[in-house]
Chains A and B, each alone.
Chain A
């Protein structure tokens, strides 16, 4: 009795899967948007924006407002401030190739299906939850050939979320060492890219790049599932990455714990 009910239920629910990457996903609530990397703003806005951003992601240089998306934690203060009013871009294709990583010549054999080993290096839970949403019917990454694996031995991609806390350094290193070459390291989320609001400190690191060579960076706090999907498609060479805006590395703000 129950099996038939479940089958009928499943059929009734229909197809929920997004058409991405075949078509753009337009449904509301799939992405919070992100500040544009480069934009032109008024003088009065500039000072306010630079002051208001809690992670020093915003800078003014050569008459342009530069946003280091790797530091943006989606606090919305720049967009909601009455003076600042920075307009955000909608969309979700944010993945970029890290400096020094090899691209677009990704290892051959990565075009078809990829196995992903996800490591939680101290993440708050949101990035990990978004990664887990990739397995749900709305996004269904299996149709694109992406799978999560519990063992690093047959993993192609190491997907790291979290700022790399001090006590997770060794396990993360072990996981990286246990993966055979060729492998790609993907840092997902503002914490993994820059330490987020937690680091760097004695207990929490400044992101994955301080420990491992990062290949693909996905900004966002958290990046929505479509952004992570885009990053995986970049790793598989099926989608182009976002061009990186050269934002020089910033001095850390909370030096007393460095």
Chain B
């Protein structure tokens, strides 16, 4: 099937959706968003799938003077990102139908619809742009539309702050990426990606570094990496839940796309330096993100910080891959990139699921503060169930998808033993340790969210329950949850798919290295040695190959001579065993035991205290206090108020204790810059004292300076 008609269909749908906003009223727009959005996403998915499958497309649009020909092109890398974005936009479109009902009458649906379809098309444009100009134009379009959607529910000028911050820092990055393109295309006039690739081959080292740093700045901002990610945790709480879902699920990935495109395609890395920087920054982002996620009581802010953590892990994987690639270990690089892209896919799916859950809770209860929720599993059973799937996935627990990608990422970092350079190995080891720490902190964080919001006693007494959750929201959540499970238990089918774009980047096929085809080998005793086959005979190869398509069910890697370590994992088998165990337990309890024993429901044991009141149970702040105390060097809390109201010297009537914390990035990075810039500005302001004579003198001095410069250059 040809890609061109699909592309046209996609843009037609988006245009139709945006135009329909003008003609339909608010009420009817919702199903429109749902239907058109879903079909457009399916089209995007088809485009992406075909792109990965190897069909390529190149469409030339207009030819602009001085800026070259605007081209759109789909290759396997774009195809992958198109698929992932589609997997997010599809449930978002469905979810919006139910979720936006709460906004009817309060805000304009038309502008939302128009912006939504505009954003959809701008994402596709970014991903398919094949020359610098169209890339930059669509990037800017995407930023502006993102800003508009984030600021959708602002009530006044003061609410616009977070979105404005996002836009501003995005624009700063935009300037950087323009410069990056310019440096890359220094001598040639050809701004298309093909031309840039050619230019990239002959770049000098300083220019290479300049391109890397400038592009990494912009894409780091977009992906939410330290130290430029303060906008993310501020933008998410003010945006509606469906906007947050695709902000985290699709827009952050564009940063990853940019890093991959620049450093692996246009100007491939030749030294280990850039890779190490990417790796380290990714690791630090992961740590800072999850630490602050532990501290948050607002569900959406917490999910935003967690997005920073996950993007950090993805970036770390990319960085590791870049290092391997530059040190001529292409198969290891391939594994690293597969791990990074797998994690990015997983993150998109489970983060959007989690945001859907947070949005449902917000719509039903009117609050997202964990300290005021509790016991929601009774009111919102489906949301609770799907949120649990999301929480298990993000905590990297088998058999869900988070487990597979985190496992792969950590294994990748261990592969540094195959390299020669000791410095690189040390950095890899440290980053691996920190990433393991973040995995543990992620579990703490999500246990807290789930337990405080859905389990336990209700702190809100069931008030403000705004009716049941709309069916479309449940369908959207169910879709994402099912996807989490599938991506988790079928890694051996996902990896070959991911390998297509990766193999174009590293010029080596990694599938055979990661997913040995022992089903096929068992059939043919083909390329694998018989000893190997007999070892894994008991893993069901002799049965599996008759029933199941595909290479095998185990993700397996045998190291090379420098690092002869085998690592293996199979969530597919884990799922089978889990299902058998759970099924057996279920049968045992409900068939055998239930007949012989009676079940009685008793209230929870509270030391003989009746009744147990909600204020006597743990709060979210209390639960995460140990993390705060352990990492207090990073959090650096300062006590603002510690006062008590006392009567008659010894009777305390009230004790007040509030603690203030300044974000570590603000403390280390932004505040010093702010202070420095203010000082410099204050210094410079001394020049503006209003005396005309001085200004004339300035003019004279500038003239002299220009003349001197012209003389000597």
A170 to B609, CA, bound (A): 8
* Docked-complex contact B605 and A171, CB < 8 angstroms: no
**Chain B residue at minimum C-beta to C-beta distance from A174:** B608
B610 at the interface (CB under 8 A from A): yes
A119 to B608, CA, bound (A): 10
A152 to B602, CA, bound (A): 12
Give chain A residues whose Cβ lies under 8 Å from the Cβ of B610. 170, 174
A151 to B608, CA, bound (A): 11
Give chain A residues whose Cβ lies under 8 Å from the Cβ of B602. 177-178
* Docked-complex contact B605 and A151, CB < 8 angstroms: yes
- Distance in angstroms from A134 CB to nearest chain B CB is 22
A136-155: CB near B (< 8 Å → 1, else 0) gives 00000000000000011100
B601-613: CB near A (< 8 Å → 1, else 0) gives 0100101111000
A171-184: CB near B (< 8 Å → 1, else 0) gives 11011011000000
Give chain A residues whose Cβ lies under 8 Å from the Cβ of B609. 171, 174
* Docked-complex contact A170 and B608, CB < 8 angstroms: yes
- Distance in angstroms from B596 CB to nearest chain A CB is 13
**Chain A residue at minimum C-beta to C-beta distance from B605:** A178
- Distance in angstroms from A158 CB to nearest chain B CB is 12
B229-270: CB near A (< 8 Å → 1, else 0) gives 000000000000000000000000000000000000000000
- Distance in angstroms from A77 CB to nearest chain B CB is 37
A1 to B490, CA, bound (A): 55
- Distance in angstroms from A155 CB to nearest chain B CB is 11
What is the total number of residues of chain A having a CB less than 8 Å from a CB of chain B?
11
A118 to B609, CA, bound (A): 16
> Of A119, A152, A170, A172, which is within 8 A of B605 by CB?
A152
- Distance in angstroms from A209 CB to nearest chain B CB is 20
Give chain B residues whose Cβ lies under 8 Å from the Cβ of A177. 602
**Chain A residue at minimum C-beta to C-beta distance from B604:** A178
Give chain B residues whose Cβ lies under 8 Å from the Cβ of A152. 605
What is the total number of residues of chain B having a CB less than 8 Å from a CB of chain A?
6
Prevailing SS type, chain B contact patch = loop
**Residues from 578 to 615 in B contacting A, C-beta threshold 8 Å:** 602, 605, 607-610
A174 to B606, CA, bound (A): 9
B192-205: CB near A (< 8 Å → 1, else 0) gives 00000000000000
**Chain B residue at minimum C-beta to C-beta distance from A152:** B605
- Distance in angstroms from A166 CB to nearest chain B CB is 14
Give chain A residues whose Cβ lies under 8 Å from the Cβ of B605. 151-153, 178
**Residues from 112 to 139 in B contacting A, C-beta threshold 8 Å:** none
A119 to B610, CA, bound (A): 16
Give chain B residues whose Cβ lies under 8 Å from the Cβ of A171. 607-609
- Distance in angstroms from B612 CB to nearest chain A CB is 10
**Chain A residue at minimum C-beta to C-beta distance from B606:** A174
A210 to B605, CA, bound (A): 23
A172 to B610, CA, bound (A): 11
A108-120: CB near B (< 8 Å → 1, else 0) gives 0000000000010
- Distance in angstroms from B164 CB to nearest chain A CB is 54
**Chain B residue at minimum C-beta to C-beta distance from A178:** B605
- Distance in angstroms from B158 CB to nearest chain A CB is 51
A177 to B606, CA, bound (A): 12
**Chain A residue at minimum C-beta to C-beta distance from B608:** A171
Give chain B residues whose Cβ lies under 8 Å from the Cβ of A172. 608
- Distance in angstroms from A180 CB to nearest chain B CB is 8
- Distance in angstroms from A118 CB to nearest chain B CB is 13
A202-217: CB near B (< 8 Å → 1, else 0) gives 0000000000000000
- Distance in angstroms from A258 CB to nearest chain B CB is 26
Give chain A residues whose Cβ lies under 8 Å from the Cβ of B607. 171
A239 to B610, CA, bound (A): 38
A22 to B609, CA, bound (A): 41
A107 to B12, CA, bound (A): 77
**Residues from 156 to 193 in A contacting B, C-beta threshold 8 Å:** 170-172, 174-175, 177-178
Give chain A residues whose Cβ lies under 8 Å from the Cβ of B608. 119, 170-172, 174-175
- Distance in angstroms from A52 CB to nearest chain B CB is 39
- Distance in angstroms from B517 CB to nearest chain A CB is 51
Give chain B residues whose Cβ lies under 8 Å from the Cβ of A153. 605
A151 to B610, CA, bound (A): 16
A178 to B612, CA, bound (A): 14
Give chain B residues whose Cβ lies under 8 Å from the Cβ of A170. 608, 610
A171 to B612, CA, bound (A): 12
A170 to B611, CA, bound (A): 11
A175 to B603, CA, bound (A): 11
A163 to B602, CA, bound (A): 26
A177 to B610, CA, bound (A): 12
**Chain B residue at minimum C-beta to C-beta distance from A151:** B605
- Distance in angstroms from B278 CB to nearest chain A CB is 48
**Residues from 11 to 25 in A contacting B, C-beta threshold 8 Å:** none
A172 to B602, CA, bound (A): 15
A153 to B609, CA, bound (A): 15
- Distance in angstroms from B597 CB to nearest chain A CB is 10
**Chain B residue at minimum C-beta to C-beta distance from A177:** B602
- Distance in angstroms from A227 CB to nearest chain B CB is 27
A240 to B605, CA, bound (A): 34
A152 to B607, CA, bound (A): 9
- Distance in angstroms from B609 CB to nearest chain A CB is 7
B545-587: CB near A (< 8 Å → 1, else 0) gives 0000000000000000000000000000000000000000000
**Chain B residue at minimum C-beta to C-beta distance from A168:** B608
Give chain B residues whose Cβ lies under 8 Å from the Cβ of A175. 608
**Chain A residue at minimum C-beta to C-beta distance from B598:** A181
Q: Which of A151, A171, A172 has the most CB of B within 10 A?
A: A171
**Residues from 604 to 647 in B contacting A, C-beta threshold 8 Å:** 605, 607-610
**Chain B residue at minimum C-beta to C-beta distance from A171:** B608
A152 to B610, CA, bound (A): 15
A170 to B608, CA, bound (A): 7
Give chain B residues whose Cβ lies under 8 Å from the Cβ of A178. 602, 605
- Distance in angstroms from A114 CB to nearest chain B CB is 19
A119 to B607, CA, bound (A): 11
**Chain B residue at minimum C-beta to C-beta distance from A150:** B607
A144 to B607, CA, bound (A): 27
- Distance in angstroms from B593 CB to nearest chain A CB is 14
- Distance in angstroms from B600 CB to nearest chain A CB is 8
A88 to B488, CA, bound (A): 76
A214 to B346, CA, bound (A): 59
Q: Which of A153, A172, A174 has the most CB of B within 10 A?
A: A174
- Distance in angstroms from B615 CB to nearest chain A CB is 19
A184 to B607, CA, bound (A): 19
Q: Which of B602, B607, B608, B609 has the most CB of A within 10 A?
A: B608
A175 to B610, CA, bound (A): 11
Give chain B residues whose Cβ lies under 8 Å from the Cβ of A119. 608
A177 to B607, CA, bound (A): 12
- Distance in angstroms from A149 CB to nearest chain B CB is 11
- Distance in angstroms from B347 CB to nearest chain A CB is 40
Q: Which of A151, A153, A172, A178 has the most CB of B within 10 A?
A: A178
A171 to B608, CA, bound (A): 4
A178 to B600, CA, bound (A): 10
Give chain B residues whose Cβ lies under 8 Å from the Cβ of A174. 608-610
- Distance in angstroms from B241 CB to nearest chain A CB is 39
- Distance in angstroms from A185 CB to nearest chain B CB is 16
Other A-B contacts than A151-B605, A170-B610, 8 sampled, CB-CB below 8 A, are: A119-B608, A153-B605, A170-B608, A171-B608, A174-B610, A175-B608, A177-B602, A178-B605
Q: Which 7 A-B pairs have the closest CB atoms?
A: A171-B608, A174-B608, A178-B605, A175-B608, A174-B610, A178-B602, A153-B605
17 sampled A-B residue pairs with Cβ under 8 A: A119-B608, A151-B605, A152-B605, A153-B605, A170-B608, A170-B610, A171-B607, A171-B608, A171-B609, A172-B608, A174-B608, A174-B609, A174-B610, A175-B608, A177-B602, A178-B602, A178-B605
